[in-house]
Amino acid sequence: MKKIFLLVAFVATTLTQQLFAQDIKKSSLTPLLTSYYDIKNALISSNSTDAATHAEAFLKAVNSVDMKSMPAADMNAFMTYQDKLAFDARHISESKDIVHQREHFANFSANFFKLAKAVKLTDQPVYYAYCPMKKSYWLSADAAIKNPYFGNQMLTCGKVTETLNK
Ligand SMILES: [Cu+2]
């Protein structure tokens, strides 16, 4: 009887630790998603200064992720995209030209979605939308279309093609 009690206690402790580990895993890359949305929202407003500022924050975050706390599979996925994401974030951060920023944002978004599919960044839905004019995608926390490639010129152009965490 005592053995059974110990076994139950052991299993309960292990489960709790696993739940806790998932929380840590989620939080170590989640700031990147928040930062991505900040850049995206600045581009929706056609605000190149804000886009640059948020891209600089993204660049800092992507270069300072604590990989030791991540599961191996997540770490491998992250390492596949880290340099690519840093490259486009740096170009967006160093430019005040919204056209140039949007060029990089297209590639940036495609790579970021690959990361978001490989690693669970959030429990909330992530909408992957497509702009047929730009032939490029972006991620959004909202299903409603707000186009970061054209801003007010074509705010509702595009459609959701895929949804994570439905
Ligand atoms: Cu560039």
Quote the crossing angle between the two packed helices 98-118 and 48-62, to the nearest 10°. Answer: 40
111 inside domain: yes
pLDDT at 48 (0 to 100): 98
Residue 165 DSSP SS3: coil
Q: Exposed, middle or buried, 5 (CB in 10 Å: 0-12/13-18/19+)? A: exposed
Handedness of CA 27, 20, 111, 150 (dihedral sign): negative
Selection from 35, 29, 32, 59 nearest residue 120 by Cα = 29
- At 42, which CATH number? 1.20.120
CA 104 to ligand 1 center in whole angstroms: 6
- Asked if residues 86 and 44 have their Cβ atoms less than 8 Å apart, the reply is no
pLDDT in the model for residue 28: 85
Residues with CB under 5 A from ligand 1 (ion): 91
Q: Residue 96 C-alpha to ligand 1 middle, in angstroms?
A: 11
What is the rounded CA–CA span in Å between residue 30 and residue 24? 10
Q: How far is the CA of 91 from the centre of ligand 1 (A)?
A: 4
The predicted pLDDT at position 8 comes to 58
In a domain, 133, yes or no: no
Calpha distance 51→105 (Å, rounded): 10
Question: What is the 51 CA–ligand 1 centroid distance (Å)?
Answer: 14
- Residue 161 falls within a domain, yes or no? no
129 domain-assigned: no
For residue 40, how far is its CA from the centre of ligand 1 (angstroms)?
A: 17
Distance (Å) from CA 56 to ligand 1 centroid: 14
In the prediction, which pLDDT does 163 show? Answer: 98
Task: Give the pLDDT score at 25.
Answer: 45
Residue 23 belongs to a domain: yes
pLDDT of residue 24: 43
The verdict on residue 159 lying in a domain is no
Q: What's the CA-to-centroid distance between 61 and ligand 1, angstroms?
A: 19
The CA 1 to ligand 1 mean position distance, Å, reads 68
pLDDT number for residue 51: 98
Determine the structural domain holding residue 24 and report its residue range. Answer: 2-121
pLDDT in tens, the chain (166 residues): 566 655 556 555 555 555 555 544 455 899 999 999 999 999 999 999 999 999 999 999 999 999 888 899 999 999 999 999 999 999 999 999 999 999 999 999 999 999 999 999 999 999 999 999 999 999 999 999 999 999 999 999 999 999 999 8
Q: Is residue 128, in this structure, part of any structural domain at all?
A: no
Are 107 and 137 in contact by the 8 Å Cβ rule? The answer is: no
CA 55 – ligand 1 centroid, Å: 12
Distance between Cα 109 and ligand 1 center (Å): 15
- How many folded domains does the chain comprise? 1
pLDDT at 11: 54
- Residue-level pLDDT at 125: 97
Ligand 1: distance of its center to the CA of 149 in Å?
16
Residue 160 lies in a domain: no
Phi, psi of 119 (to 5 degrees): -125, 135
Residue 46 · residue 40 · CB < 8 Å:
no
Where does the chain show beta strands of DSSP type E? 126-131, 136-140, 159-164
